Amino acid sequence: MATNLTCRCTFSAPAPTRKSDQEAITPFLEDPKTIAVGANLGIANGCRIRDGHVDEVALPRSWLARFQIVEYMRSFLLFRLACATWNGVVIISGAFGLFRRDAVIAVGGYDTTAIGEDMDLTIRLQRHFRALGQPFRIGFDPNPLAWTQAPEDWRSLQSQRYRWRRGLLQVLWRHRRLLGNPRFGFVGVGVLPYTVLFEGLAPLLELAGYIVVILGAVSGTLRPVFWLVAFAVSALSGIAVTFTAVVVSDLGTRRYMRGRDLVLLVIVALIESCGYRQLNSWWAWVGTYQTLTGKSGWGEMKRKAFEGV
């Protein structure tokens, strides 16, 4: 089985450890129907790297990188773990993925014209095997089997989020015929509609809502107390989800179980909704505009040397 596997690793960070390689291969050995496996990603910023591997896990000094740690916990762990439960994984991160070679060849491999080529490939695998009615499984390992370097400057992060947005919208448009289609099971009637609503539309509606409420408060048609209550409910719900992700992730992986680091992550989860989330919504608006105007390209991404390499 192992000779028919191909690994996708595209990150400027430590490679997976030998133990991680074994953990990634295990689903293929346990279930012959497995065609691909993705994994949780750890952020290497702040960690001590030795011989190309993470020797010590620690939080970075950059608050921007810290925001992304809790963001990754929320998006990479909770949502994908839920999707994997119903065999509905629609994205195996380009940073690390293990695929059965014959399955990838059957769907034509990576599409070089796709901005979000990792999501595009995963959905094509879902579509191909569901259309044929063949049993298959796309797995997700909640352990951090690979580590990636997060941007620590605003310009690089902005460029990354613009590209992610363009890639998301392009993939959703390409596979729009799957939306709401019961022929494609949980992916068609559950995962993709959820993605359209909460990843595609929610950031746009959120920022539009802020604008409408502010205009209402300024014009006197909306009492400030109602605006404050609405913002508090929105912030608290986001904090609750993020806090759950932090706790679940750390209980499972024990990455930041030192008292100071865990307390600091909780603080990050509390303040993330006050500015950082709204900025991401703005970037979603800009990325949407870029998509509609046909902008392409990868964008600039600065890297910094790892500590202790």
Phi, psi (rounded to 5 degrees) for 107: -100, 5
pLDDT at residue number 220: 81
What are the strands of the beta sheet with 34-43, ordered from one edge?
Answer: 5-8, 97-100, 34-43, 137-148
pLDDT digits (tens, 9 = 90+) for 64-108: 999 998 888 887 777 888 899 999 999 999 888 999 999 999 999
Query: By the 8 A CB rule, do 106 and 128 touch?
Result: yes
Kindly compute the dihedral angle of the four CA atoms of residues 271, 142, 133, 31, in this order, to the nearest 10 degrees: 180
Structure-token pair, residue 34 = 């497995």
3-class SS string, 277-302: HHHHHHHHHHHHHHHHCCCCCCCCCC
Give, in degrees to the nearest 5, the angle at Cα 105 between 120 and 101. Answer: 100
- pTM of the shown model: 0.87
Helix, strand or coil, per DSSP, at residue 305: coil
pLDDT mean for each 10 residues of the chain (309 residues): 63 49 83 93 86 81 92 82 93 91 96 94 98 95 82 94 96 97 96 95 89 83 78 78 76 65 82 88 96 82 60
Q: Which of 151, 160, 173, 183 is nearest to 304 (CA)?
A: 151
E strand spans, 90-230:
97-100, 137-148
C-alpha to C-alpha distance for 9 and 95, rounded to whole angstroms = 5
